[in-house]
Structure 1
Amino acid sequence: MKYYTTKEASELLGVTKRYLAKLCSAKAIEGAEKRGSRWVIPESFVAEKTNRKAPEHVFNTTGICNPDEHYMVDLTQRLADVRTLIDEGKYFTINRARQFGKTTTLHALADFLSGDYLVISMDFQMQMSDAKFRNENSFSTAFARAFENSFRISAGSDRGCVDALNNFTEERKEAGDGFELVELFQALSNLCAAVPRKIVLMIDEVDSATNNQVFLDFLAQLRGYYINRSRYATFQSVVLAGVCDIRNLKRKMRPEEEHKDNSPWNIAADFDIDMSFHPKQIETMLQAYRNERGVTMDTESLAGEVYDYTSGYPYLVSRICQLLDEAYLAGEADSWTHAGILKAVRKLLRETNSLFEDMAKKIKDYPELGTMLRDILFCGKGIPFNLGTELVSVGAMFGFLKDDNGQVAIANRIFEIWFYNLFIAQDAIDSRTYDAGQQLKNQFITDHGLDVEMILKKFVEHFTESFGDRPDSFVEENGRRLFLLYIRPLINGTGNYYIESRTRSMGRTDLIIDYQGRRYIIEMKIWRGNEYNTRGEEQLIGYLNDYHLDRGYMLSFNFNKNKTPGVKEIHFRNHTLVEAIV
């Protein structure tokens, strides 16, 4: 059930927070709960008092999504595609970034397959602890007990299954301290032979086990039985789910032969099924929301905007929709509009959630990955997308990077802005440039938005004074980063900004700023001569046309010793371009 804070409920009901708090203290609101020092009020109470029907569904960003309770995209085609692999007897890994819908997919898949297979669903994070991996006996015993519990849930009272499980349990008990991996898999093989239905084994959260040698030996046993499946009964299919690609794990053949290793999971089939949400899928989910809530909204346009920011990353899609719904329930008239999405994105980027916390941890744990991200974002460095390159592989595994026509790119716009904010915040701690923008920001804000011409003028003055004697290499590597540092205090908490990724590796960087409903485009580039500059102006004009704007801005870092720093206005093809030269 959804709950409101007293502030949210008071706005919906037209009463004061204090009045609602008194009702809660007097136990006059059924279902009200005190969480910490604050009361929360059930949605059913608010719906009753406002004569509104409590919605049957909500947007969910925690735990498993259930179509009976949550707004969801249609998973039917995805489940059918996964089933094809299972029908073919494939063993495979669903490795996707955090909060990418892996667990929801596994639960939906178990239901989808239940008519034809006996699906055993396990979770290493819930059913196994680190202590269980200390040796083969402790692991095998703990795995067998967890398997037995999961088996009972799936098999129910089926007599053949119950008998097979009882025999499996007896084998475990009889072996005692000698119940190790060989004995475990012999017992599993006997069970698979005795059960009347084919068994599909699904294990979630396998990342919690990947640092343990005994788990690698477990995978090797799975591999051995898979290879010899014509001689020994075994699982129809095994599905492992986690962030890591288990195929990349290596198992030492013998401790004394450190240089000889092989993958214990090299029999796994490729899992290339797209688990991101497409615009049409998002639109279908929004249509279900619109029909249930009676909201007037352009579902196609909104779905496209949500996709533009998220590239279909499931958690990000659901969280933005959740924030829009909260704004709607709070009575914000522009909730399900372009302006509402901009507000939701700003709120999302400011909040602390488990996804962003994990991203920050990964950057701390992999400093070389952070350096590569900085090079892409601030220097426009082009890096070929090749999963054989360790850093690229790690970044893609974490969901930070994607393949953009053979080049490495940040996975989505939300992540890109978040990484910019992270790195700029790190640099701003001891930055004269950030401080300069902070001190002058009130000069740059007008009743109509941002005075970008003044921003450029003051930045040129600051850069010339602070960095005018630096070598060309410094300017080329740091110019764009310093400008982003300079404008960050203006946008912080009020606007959004992002880089148009298709221009980052072309010697120029198009910065798009959304501020109080207005959009500004600033092209940042390295000066390469008049011909190159003219071509850049033409490209910027085309980009302004795409956004229906008649005014654009250019920031050129010019290495010509005879340059004249400053700001000038150019009229070009019915557009006005304001160019700043550093």
Structure 2
Amino acid sequence: MKTFNTTAVCIPTKHYMVDLTERVKEIKELVDQGKYFTINRARQYGKTTTLTALRKNLSEEYDVLFLDFQSIGESGFSTEEKFVQEFCRLLCNRRKLDNVDMSCIIGTIEKWKDSEEPKARLGELFDELMKWCEASERDIVLIIDEVDTATNNQVFLDFLAQLRDKYISRDRDGIRTFQSVILAGVTDVKHLKNKIRPEDESKENSPWNIAADFNVDMSLSEDGIRNMLQEYEADHGTGMDCAAMAKMIRDYTNGYPFLVSRICELLDTSVKDKISADKIWTQWGLDEAVKLILSENNTLFQSLTKNLNNLPELKQTIRSILMEGTRLTWNGQQDAIVQMEMYGLIRNDHNTVKVSNRIFETMLYNYFLSEEEMKSNVFFREGDLNRNIFVENGKLNVRLILEHFVETYHQIYGELEEKFKEKDGREFFLLYVKPVINGTGNYYIEAQTRDQKRTDVIIDYLGQQYIIELKIWHGERYNESGEEQISDYLDYFGLDTGYMLSFNFNKNKEIGVKQVHVGDKLLYEATV
């Protein structure tokens, strides 16, 4: 029986996976048009799985050569001659696997491959490759996966320059060359010049400036996830609502392939040991799966935090976006922004920088808050000390959490001061709540309401959701507007009780928690 897979290539006959037919069709259109392009997406974004499906599809019409530069060791990029030798080794190894006829050049290629002292240069290699293209009955498509392996050396730039030269000669002089060249990896090849070239050389003349734009959406759609779950349901008969589960998974992941597959994999394996079978494929089970993912020290999270720490200014900006509601305009010329998009951490949302998905957001909140925990933050400590009194019959008593938070704040700080910032309230409250739900529930910040005036914190705890609006007091009229907004938001989630936490600078304010009825909704409003 099939399983969910989060390692290496997904195979349709072995794994539950989203149907890639339409995606492959879009990419093939670029190949049919003779385009050279790069598929650069973040780690574990389904690149290799997509290329495997694409290769199978293209093989019906083209000769496809599928190389993986991970197979070339570091020494293979040390000189032009060694690279040619290693490239020839890959050609020989793939010749039978890809079922391509290289009879016109195989003698030369094997001689270069086996030479004890490599002497062939890139120009000679491309002469042979062009001879092969000219003699081939079918047009040839070259696919190179894991080009990141080559990104720190000049030899690869020279290799790209040769490909560019042949591409230009195809259109200018009518020579026959590769029908299409596809380079796949995390790194956008256009950034390679910044890594390799000396500072005194031009950084604008990219060796891959012939590449066509690749705008194919490689995230997993809600419909695609639903169809995958329906296949699983047909095999297992869990009774899940496939459409509802697909929507929830998509909401959490924004279609990031690894996260989608990992959630499903955990629901199919680990989560069943924690909750009853009828709750696995529900909001309750999803909460458990997300909690497990956030507790993992997986390679994806390691890569994201490493890249973030390598860009300290952007790290501080993202912290400000999350904690303060700061809006950062998207700038495609800002290298740090472009790189973090390339690594999959952020996305362009209506020309504004946003963290890519809800799971990454929560991971980053935990990461930033842990820095405060390491300083023995008093709110985290107080929340940890009181956590046992906030759970009653498996449900959170959020009213009691608010009461104790207000009391704790005034014991420590007294009256709010003008230097108080929105981020302080968010950090203090999240630090207080984090140990209360840690290990049992999750939280996230609703992106649609996060700004410098209002933040909605959504807590998922044992299948139950709790909506808490955090805001700075801006007067009675604004407060009434906030009450109506959270009432509408409760309708969206199908809830009848909500919570508000206001940070109020007025001297005559009434500190504490009170009940307010807005229509048929009950709100608990806390004032600091």
TM (norm. structure 2) is 0.93
2:432 to 483, 486, 497: 486
1:150 to 86, 94, 109: 94
Contact 2:271 2:285 in 1 (8 A): no
Indicate the SS of the match to 1:275: coil
1:328-384 CA distance string (max 9 Å, x none)? 875733222222222222222222322222223223333333212211111111111
CA RMSD across the alignment: 2.3
Question: What are structure 2's unaligned runs of at least 5 residues?
Answer: none
Letter of the 2:166 partner, please give it: Y
What is the CA-CA distance between 1:104 and the residue it aligns to? 0.5
2:122 to 162, 181, 187: 181
1:553 to 496, 499, 502: 499
1:321 paired residue number: 264
Contact 1:200 1:237 in 2 (8 A): yes
2:150 paired residue number: 209
1:278 to 202, 221, 224: 221
Contact 1:550 1:576 in 2 (8 A): yes
1:264 paired residue number: 207
Contact 2:324 2:452 in 1 (8 A): no
2:476 pairs with 1:530: yes
2:169 pairs with 1:228: yes
2:139 to 198, 201, 204: 198
Contact 1:496 1:513 in 2 (8 A): yes
1:154-185 CA distance string (max 9 Å, x none)? 235x4xx3233224445777996442222222
Letter of the 2:397 partner, please give it: D
Letter of the 1:335 partner, please give it: I
Indicate the SS of the match to 2:523: strand
2:135 pairs with 1:135: no
1:453 to 399, 402, 410: 399
- Of structures 1 and 2, the one scoring higher in RCO (CA 8 A, sep 6+) is 2
What is the CA-CA distance between 1:147 and the residue it aligns to? 2.4
What is the CA-CA distance between 1:149 and the residue it aligns to? 1.9
- Give me the whole-angstrom Cα distance separating, in 2, the residues matched to 1:465 and 1:327: 43
Contact 2:416 2:505 in 1 (8 A): no
Indicate the SS of the match to 1:162: coil
- Give me the whole-angstrom Cα distance separating, in 1, the residues matched to 2:419 and 2:85: 61
Over 3 Å counting, the alpha-carbon distance change for 1:118 and 1:562 in structure 2 is same
Letter of the 2:142 partner, please give it: L
What is the CA-CA distance between 1:523 and the residue it aligns to? 0.3
- Give me the whole-angstrom Cα distance separating, in 1, the residues matched to 2:391 and 2:317: 34
- Written as runs of structure 1 = structure 2, the 5 A alignment for 1:20-31 is none
What is the CA-CA distance between 1:235 and the residue it aligns to? 1.0
Over 3 Å counting, the alpha-carbon distance change for 1:260 and 1:109 in structure 2 is closer
What is the CA-CA distance between 1:564 and the residue it aligns to? 4.0
Over 3 Å counting, the alpha-carbon distance change for 1:176 and 1:117 in structure 2 is farther
Over 3 Å counting, the alpha-carbon distance change for 1:83 and 1:581 in structure 2 is same
1:40-87 CA distance string (max 9 Å, x none)? xxxxxxxxxxxxxxx2x1111111011111111111111111100001
Over 3 Å counting, the alpha-carbon distance change for 1:152 and 1:313 in structure 2 is same
Aligned length: 523
2:372 pairs with 1:437: no
2:231 pairs with 1:303: no
Over 3 Å counting, the alpha-carbon distance change for 1:251 and 1:387 in structure 2 is closer
Indicate the SS of the match to 2:240: coil
1:381 paired residue number: 326
2:523 paired residue number: 577
Contact 2:383 2:432 in 1 (8 A): yes
Structure 1 range deviating more: 221-230 or 493-502: 221-230
Letter of the 2:96 partner, please give it: R
Indicate the SS of the match to 1:226: helix
Structure 1 range deviating more: 429-438 or 390-399: 390-399
Over 3 Å counting, the alpha-carbon distance change for 1:207 and 1:415 in structure 2 is same
- Give me the whole-angstrom Cα distance separating, in 2, the residues matched to 1:311 and 1:477: 26
Question: What are structure 1's unaligned runs of at least 5 residues?
Answer: 1-54
What is the CA-CA distance between 1:278 and the residue it aligns to? 0.8
Letter of the 1:181 partner, please give it: L
2:59 pairs with 1:114: yes
Indicate the SS of the match to 1:295: coil
Contact 2:470 2:500 in 1 (8 A): yes
Over 3 Å counting, the alpha-carbon distance change for 1:397 and 1:473 in structure 2 is farther
2:462 pairs with 1:516: yes
2:294 pairs with 1:294: no
Contact 1:252 1:260 in 2 (8 A): no
Structure 1 range deviating more: 516-525 or 443-452: 443-452
1:165 to 106, 112, 126: 106
- Give me the whole-angstrom Cα distance separating, in 2, the residues matched to 1:261 and 1:551: 57
2:278 paired residue number: 333
TM (norm. structure 1) is 0.85
Contact 1:503 1:509 in 2 (8 A): yes
What is the CA-CA distance between 1:299 and the residue it aligns to? 1.2
1:248 paired residue number: 191
1:514-567 CA distance string (max 9 Å, x none)? 112222110011222222222111111111111222221111122334444322
- Give me the whole-angstrom Cα distance separating, in 1, the residues matched to 2:199 and 2:457: 55
What is the CA-CA distance between 1:116 and the residue it aligns to? 1.2
Letter of the 2:213 partner, please give it: D
